[in-house]
């Protein structure tokens, strides 16, 4: 398949859940497509702090669902010329354009990627989060860069729907817990204990999220647990 089938958003706003630090929800778990400041990517010359975007898949970030693995794949994000949405298919295959990121034009550079210490990815340094569609566009371009194989974003959406649904549930759980005075890490751990524990059906909420027909029921069960558990 040709690069002409690579997709582009309808507008820059389609890319983001949060495009500036003021919009970032601190209760949201770290995800693919999160942009952090103050990141040093090993192996780049010169090594200096700057913006970086997480490329690691959410399921590969954590060994136990809560604590990040020691290192994650991160690509440098640097200031860029404005790449019009119509030109995303026109020779810009080494980058993921990030228009209107924190008021400027940037791009994630796939050639400038490395394993970054996860300890440097601080919640207070997260300046942007991609939307599910934005993440799928990032993954599509990264896969194309690596393999020249084009994966339609709707196929990526089918594969990642349970992961994004779980992230939304975790964000809601942690937000409510923080409002009641609990800590972020403590709340994340409590959520993952709940989401992985089998209910009376013998399956866990996490397993049930793989079935689109059961996702609404999982959300109801979680809200009931928060209210009465």
Residues 187, 74, single domain; the answer is no
Residue 62 and residue 173 share a domain: no
Quick one: 98 and 181 in the same domain?
A: no
In which band, very low, low, confident or very high, does the pLDDT at 90 lie, cut at 50, 70 and 90? confident
Q: How far is residue 74's CA from residue 39's CA, in Å, rounded to a whole number?
A: 9
Question: What are 225's two structure tokens?
Answer: 């647990």
d(CA 145, CA 95): 8
What DSSP state is assigned to residue 124?
G
Rounded Cα distance, 2 and 125, in Å: 37
Q: Residues 86-95: what's their mean pLDDT?
A: 88
Distance CA 137, CA 125 (A): 23
- Judge whether 7 lies within some domain: no
Residue 86: predicted pLDDT = 84
Average pLDDT over every residue of 75-103: 93
Task: Indicate if 60 and 133 belong to the same structural domain.
Answer: yes
The CATH number linked to 60 is 2.30.30.110
pLDDT score recorded for residue 1: 44
The predicted structure's pLDDT at residue 137: 98
pLDDT band at 46 (very low <50, low <70, confident <90, very high): confident
165: nearest Cα among 224, 225, 214, 228:
214
Domain end position, chosen among 151, 169, 191: 151
Containing structural domain, residue 102: 12-151
Number of Cβ within a 10 Å radius of residue 149? 8
State the pLDDT confidence band at 12, using cuts at 50, 70 and 90: very high
Cis amide leading into 126 (omega within 30): no
Residue 50 and residue 16 in one domain: yes
Q: Using 50, 70 and 90 to split pLDDT, how confident is the model at 101?
A: very high
The stretch 36-40 carries a mean pLDDT of 96
Q: State the pLDDT at residue 147.
A: 95
Which two tokens mark 143? 């896969």
Helix (H) or strand (E) holding 29: none
**Tokens, residue 6:** 């690579």
141 and 164 in a common domain: no
As a dihedral over the C-alpha atoms of residue 109, residue 112, residue 117, residue 121, rounded to 10 degrees, the angle is: -20
* C-alpha distances in Å from residue 148, one per residue of 6, 140, 144: 11, 10, 4
Quote the number of domains for the chain.
2
């Amino acid at each position: 398949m040709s690069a002409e089938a690579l997709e582009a958003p309808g507008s820059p706003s389609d890319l983001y859940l949060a495009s500036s630090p003021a919009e970032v929800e601190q209760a949201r778990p770290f995800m693919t497509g999160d942009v952090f400041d103050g990141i040093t990517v090993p192996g780049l010359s010169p090594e200096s702090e700057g913006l970086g975007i997480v490329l690691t898949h959410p399921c590969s970030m954590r060994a136990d669902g809560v604590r990040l693995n020691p290192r994650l794949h991160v690509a440098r994000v640097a200031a860029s010329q404005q790449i019009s949405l119509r030109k995303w298919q026109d020779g810009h295959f080494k980058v993921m354009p990030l228009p209107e990121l924190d008021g400027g034009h940037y791009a994630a550079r796939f050639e400038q990627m490395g394993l970054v210490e996860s300890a440097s990815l601080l919640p207070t340094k997260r300046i942007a989060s991609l939307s599910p569609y934005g993440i799928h566009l990032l993954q599509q371009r990264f896969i194309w860069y690596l393999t020249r194989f084009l994966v339609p974003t709707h196929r990526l959406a089918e594969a990642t729907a349970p992961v994004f649904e779980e992230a939304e549930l975790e964000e809601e759980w942690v937000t409510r817990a923080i409002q009641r005075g609990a800590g972020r890490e403590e709340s994340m751990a409590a959520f993952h204990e709940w989401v992985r524990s089998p209910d009376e059906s013998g399956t866990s909420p996490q397993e049930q999220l793989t079935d689109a027909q059961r996702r609404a029921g999982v959300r109801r069960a979680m809200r009931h647990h928060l209210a009465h558990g």
